[in-house]
C-alpha cells in the first residue's frame, strides 16, 4: 500500500463522513446533470467474475450501495424527465443523475433490474441490437480468451494476418489485442464473417449466455426501463464500414423487438465512446434525439435554458470505487463524481 494514498484516502473518507464533501457538491453541482454509465452487475462471488473485465463490472451489493448514494446526494431522473425538460419547457430537479447501462448484458435484466425495481429507480439501457439473443459479442470472446490464456501471440498473429495486410504489432499485449479487434471489426464484411465463423474454435464458450435475449429485453422495457441503441455490432460507429447502417438498423431492429414505433428508440450511446463530428451529425440525421458519449464531465442545467442533446457520462469503474472486498467506498464515489468539469458537447 502506498502510504501517501493511504493518508489521502483517510482524509477523503473523513471529509465525506463529516459532510464537507457532500455540502461542497450541494453548492457546486446544484444546477447540474450527471450521467453515470454501468456495464455489468454480478452477484458477489459469481463464477462469471473471472470472465469479466473489472473496470466494467460492479457487484450487486455495490450497485445497491450506488443507488443509495444517488438517492442521498441526487435526484434520480429517467429519460422521460429529460424529454419533459426539453419539450415542455420543464426543468430538471437540482443535482439530477441519470443511470445508464451499456451493451445489453443479460445480467442487466437478471441482476440489476431487481435492484432497480426494489429501489423504484429509473434507468436507460443502451443495447447492441445485433447482440440480442447472442451468446457473447465476438469482441468479448476474444478478450475473454485472452484473459483466460486460450489465445496467445500465435493465435493473435494468425487472426491479424487473416484480417489485414498491415504489419503486425511488435508485441502482443492488451493494446495490441484491442488493435486486433479493431482490424477485424473494420475488415470487409465477407472477410470478417469468415474470420468470426472460425472464432469459437480459438475462444471456447463463456460460462453462460452473456447477452440479453429478446424476452429479457422486453422484460426490461415492460418494467419501465428506457431502451436506447448502442449500434448494431458494437464496432465504433466512426470506424464502421457502414455507419448509417449501424445507426438506422440498430434502431429499427430494437423497435421491432419491442413492438414500439422507431421514435421510441430516441437515444444512442457510442460503442467504445468513440465518435467524431461527422458521426454526431449522422446520429442526429438518423433521428436520435439524445446522443450519449463517454466524455467525462457534468452538464450545466441553468433554469430557462434548453438542455444539450449530446451528453457525456462517467463510467462506474469497479476497482476505482470499491474496496477489494467489492464493497462501495462512498468517499471514492464522491470524489469520482462531484469534482468533474462541466462539458459542452455539440452536434456541430
Ligand atoms: Zn459498449
Distance 291 CA to ligand 1 centre (A): 14
Q: What is the pTM of this model?
A: 0.93
Sign of the C-alpha dihedral, residues 294, 137, 244, 289? negative
Average pLDDT score over residue span 65-73: 98
pLDDT at 184: 92
Ligand 1 center–CA 102 separation, angstroms: 5
307 in Cβ contact with 300 (< 8 Å): no
Residue 4 pLDDT class (50, 70, 90 cuts): low
Report the range of poorest mean pLDDT among 35-39, 80-84, 124-128. Answer: 80-84
DSSP alpha helix (H) spans, the chain:
3-17, 20-28, 60-73, 79-87, 106-107, 113-119, 138-147, 153-163, 174-185, 189-197, 200-203, 214-222, 243-258, 277-285, 318-321, 330-338
pLDDT score of 302: 87
In DSSP terms, 127 is beta-bridged to 103, 229
Tell me the mean pLDDT in the region 98-127. 98
Q: Tens digit of pLDDT for each residue in 13-49?
A: 999 999 999 999 999 999 999 999 999 999 988 998 8
pLDDT at 82: 94
Ligand 1 centroid–CA 174 distance in Å is 17
Over residues 132-176, the pLDDT tens digits come to 999 999 999 999 999 889 999 999 999 999 999 999 999 999 999
Strand partners, 227: 125
Instruction: List pLDDT tens digits, range 328-338.
Output: 999 999 999 99
CA 207 / ligand 1 centre spacing (Å): 20
State the Rg of the chain over Cα: 20
Q: How far is the CA of 295 from the centre of ligand 1 (A)?
A: 14
Report residue 233 as a C-alpha cell.
Answer: 455490432
What is the distance between the alpha carbons of residues 174 and 280, in angstroms, rounded to a whole number? 29
Per-residue model confidence (pLDDT) at position 62: 96
Rounded distance, CA 62 to CA 47, Å? 17
Residue 347 pLDDT exceeds 80: no
pLDDT tens string 182-206 = 999 888 888 998 999 988 888 988 9
Going from the Cα of 171 to the center of ligand 1, the distance in angstroms, rounded, reads 26
- The fraction of the chain above a pLDDT of 90, given in percent, is 77
Ligand 1 mean position, distance from CA 338 (Å):
24
Residue 348 predicted with pLDDT over 70: no
**pLDDT value at 89 more than 80:** no
| pLDDT at residue 122, as a whole number | 98
The average confidence (pLDDT) of the chain is 93
What is the pLDDT confidence band of residue 115, given thresholds at 50, 70 and 90?
very high
Can you tell me the mean pLDDT for 116-125?
98
Cβ proximity of 89 and 26 under 8 Å = no
pLDDT value for 87:
85
* Spacing, Cα 104 to ligand 1 middle (Å): 8
- Ligand 1 mean position, distance from CA 313 (Å): 13
pLDDT band for position 241 (50/70/90)?
confident
Please give the pLDDT value at position 145.
93
Using the mean position of ligand 1's atoms as its centre, give its distance from the Cα of residue 243 in Å. Answer: 16
Amino acid at each position: 500500500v502506498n502510504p501517501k494514498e493511504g493518508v489521502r484516502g483517510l482524509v477523503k473518507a473523513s471529509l465525506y463522513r463529516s459532510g464537507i464533501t457532500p455540502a461542497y457538491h450541494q453548492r457546486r453541482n446544484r444546477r447540474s446533470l450527471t450521467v453515470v454509465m454501468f456495464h455489468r452487475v454480478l452477484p458477489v462471488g459469481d463464477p462469471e467474475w473471472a470472465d469479466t473485465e473489472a473496470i466494467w463490472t460492479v457487484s450487486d451489493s455495490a450497485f445497491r450501495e450506488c443507488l443509495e448514494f444517488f438517492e442521498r446526494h441526487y435526484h434520480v431522473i429517467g429519460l422521460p424527465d429529460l424529454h419533459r425538460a426539453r419539450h415542455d419547457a420543464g426543468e430538471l430537479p437540482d443535482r439530477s443523475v441519470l443511470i445508464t447501462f451499456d451493451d445489453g448484458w443479460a445480467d442487466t435484466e437478471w441482476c440489476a433490474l431487481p435492484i432497480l425495481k426494489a429501489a423504484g429507480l429509473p434507468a436507460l439501457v443502451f443495447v447492441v441490437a445485433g447482440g440480442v439473443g447472442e451468446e457473447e459479442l465476438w469482441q468479448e470472446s476474444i478478450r475473454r480468451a485472452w484473459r483466460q490464456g486460450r489465445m496467445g501471440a500465435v493465435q493473435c498473429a494468425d487472426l491479424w494476418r487473416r484480417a489485414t495486410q498491415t504489419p503486425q504489432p511488435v508485441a502482443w499485449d492488451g493494446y495490441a489485442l484491442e488493435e486486433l479487434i479493431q482490424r477485424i471489426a473494420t475488415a470487409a464484411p465477407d472477410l470478417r464473417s469468415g474470420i468470426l465463423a472460425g472464432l469459437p474454435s480459438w475462444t471456447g464458450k463463456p460460462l453462460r449466455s452473456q447477452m440479453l435475449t429478446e424476452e429479457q429485453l422486453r422484460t426490461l422495457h415492460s418494467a419501465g426501463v428506457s431502451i436506447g441503441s448502442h449500434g448494431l455490432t458494437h464496432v465504433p460507429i466512426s470506424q464502421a464500414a457502414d455507419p448509417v447502417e449501424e445507426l438506422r438498423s440498430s434502431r429499427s431492429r430494437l423497435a421491432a423487438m419491442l413492438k414500439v414505433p422507431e421514435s421510441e428508440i430516441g437515444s444512442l450511446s457510442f460503442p467504445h465512446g468513440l465518435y467524431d463530428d461527422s458521426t454526431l451529425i449522422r446520429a442526429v440525421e438518423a433521428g436520435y434525439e439524445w446522443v450519449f458519449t463517454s466524455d467525462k464531465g457534468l452538464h450545466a442545467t441553468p433554469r430557462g435554458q434548453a438542455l444539450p442533446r449530446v451528453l457525456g457520462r462517467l463510467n462506474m469503474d469497479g476497482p476505482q470505487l470499491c474496496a477489494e472486498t467489492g464493497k462501495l467506498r462512498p468517499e471514492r464515489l464522491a470524489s469520482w463524481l462531484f469534482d468533474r468539469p462541466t462539458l459542452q458537447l455539440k452536434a456541430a
